[in-house]
Amino acid sequence: MFAALKIEDMKLRSKAFLLLAFNIIGIGIYPVMLKAGAISEDVLSFMLLVFGIATAVSFAYLLASNELENFKGLIKDRKTFYLLAFAGLLDYGIASGLEMIALVHLPANLAAIVRRSWVLLMVPFLPLVLKLKVNRYQLLGLALGFVAIYLVFTSGTLITISYSELPWLMLLILTALSLALANVLIKSRQASLPVELFLFNASTFAFYALALPVAHFLLGYRIVMNFSILDVSAILFLGLFTYFIGTYFYFFALKVLEPTTIGNATLAAPFVTFGFAFLVFHEQVYAYYLLLAALIIAGVVIQEKAPKKTLLRSKNEFKNLLFDISGAFAESKSEVVNAYFSGSGRALAMPIDAELGESAKDVMDKVASQYGCIVFDLKKPVHGIGEKEVEFIKDVLGISEGQVGKSVLIGIGKPESIESAFKDLSEALDLQNHKIFNKN
């Protein structure tokens, strides 16, 4: 789809960071376009048109990607289907609706910064939903982000809070909470990007298609369709870029990178908003925004100092040894892998300081069959897993060239099934006394 960018052959993490950078520009413009819709005479019709366009183009992409059958398959997995539809509605419909109400009363610059607090609100969901551990680097980076948000609430005074703006600021916090929960829920389930894009847009379009007549006939909402040039431009930008192209960039990055890394990186987006808000609405950039910039940049730098490995919490004895490496398979075309990876499936890694022999494969195949998952040694990946995925896993786990003799057990499937399989393998292959390598 995006062949013009010539990024197909890049490493997964490099590609994810590049697409994330493009997306940051788009989400920087987003609040300005959303404010244009907020001050229009008919917000519900505005949003219905936005998501009508987004649904149409994402459906065309679904067909062009030959993913229609995968979408039908997702419908059969009702739990995953409803969860992703709900997450898409939270991320698109609910968040955008709450933010639009707030933007009637607040400048786009302020909304752009407060919206980024979803990074803070996401942290409690990480261990609860994804079973991921939050390290001290992430907490420190997020703490600096919280200080920046506090400065926004006090307009840089550190003391005085504008109570007239407080209700609208609280709506933005609810926006951030909706985004936080949505991002973690999306990360918890596996589906192809074309399928996710269409599902998120379609569920939000259905929401506004229902909300508009209900508001009109039951609440006397006035439907007005005479939009200005700015309104039309905003509809096209939001429908085509924000909720289609930009969203593809973002969710690809979300599948590959750590959620907190993405959250901290997108804290740079408000500074793009500053420029566009000045050009369109002549909004001023105040001096204390420079302090906000310094705090946000510091948070991003600290976040990037964190180890790349993402520890997975577990109820068994491996709870300090399992790593979530699901991002390695964000672009997997292997039918075998995707059969175990879709829905609630994950990819987990357990590095060990021993080299597994030839006989280990038979044991792994037998145990994996028993628990309904895939288990293999990274040095001998199963069919459909190529060099790109292997390099990603080594990069995430910090495996250097000097550790080529070490083994990494990889499991793909339901997390609880993988943990059980690893436990049985540990006993069958006598791995109980082997320690994880490169743990720090």
Q: Please list the pLDDT of the chain residue by residue as tens digits (440 residues).
A: 444 444 444 567 778 888 888 888 888 899 999 998 888 878 899 999 999 999 999 999 999 989 898 899 889 888 889 999 999 999 999 999 999 999 988 888 888 877 877 776 777 787 777 777 777 777 787 787 778 778 777 877 778 877 777 888 889 889 988 998 998 888 888 788 899 999 999 999 999 999 999 998 888 888 877 778 888 999 999 999 999 998 888 878 877 776 667 766 777 788 888 888 988 888 887 777 677 767 766 776 676 665 555 656 555 555 547 888 877 776 677 777 777 777 777 888 888 776 777 777 888 888 888 888 888 888 888 777 777 788 778 877 777 665 555 678 888 888 888 888 888 887 777 665 544 444 43
Residue 139 has a pLDDT of 79
d(CA 258, CA 209) in angstroms, rounded, equals 34
d(CA 212, CA 218) in angstroms, rounded, equals 10
d(CA 288, CA 275) in angstroms, rounded, equals 16
Q: Is 163 helix (H, G, I), strand (E, B) or coil?
A: coil
Mean pLDDT of the chain: 80
pTM of the model: 0.72
CB 295 within 8 A of CB 145: yes
pLDDT digits 0-9 by tens, 200-211: 999 999 999 999
- From edge to edge, which strands make up the β-sheet containing 407-413? 323-324, 346-352, 407-413, 374-377
Angle at 193 between CA 171 and CA 78, to 5 degrees: 80
Structure tokens at 244: 């289609």
d(CA 283, CA 166) in angstroms, rounded, equals 20
How many CA atoms are closer than 13 Å to the CA of 379, on its beta-carbon side? 17
List 62's β-bridge partners, or say none. Answer: none
For the chain, what is the largest distance between any 2 Cα atoms, rounded to a whole number of angstroms? 73
Residue 127 carries which DSSP code?
Answer: I
d(CA 100, CA 94) in angstroms, rounded, equals 10
pLDDT digits 0-9 by tens, 167-219: 888 898 899 889 989 988 888 887 888 999 999 999 999 999 999 999 988 88
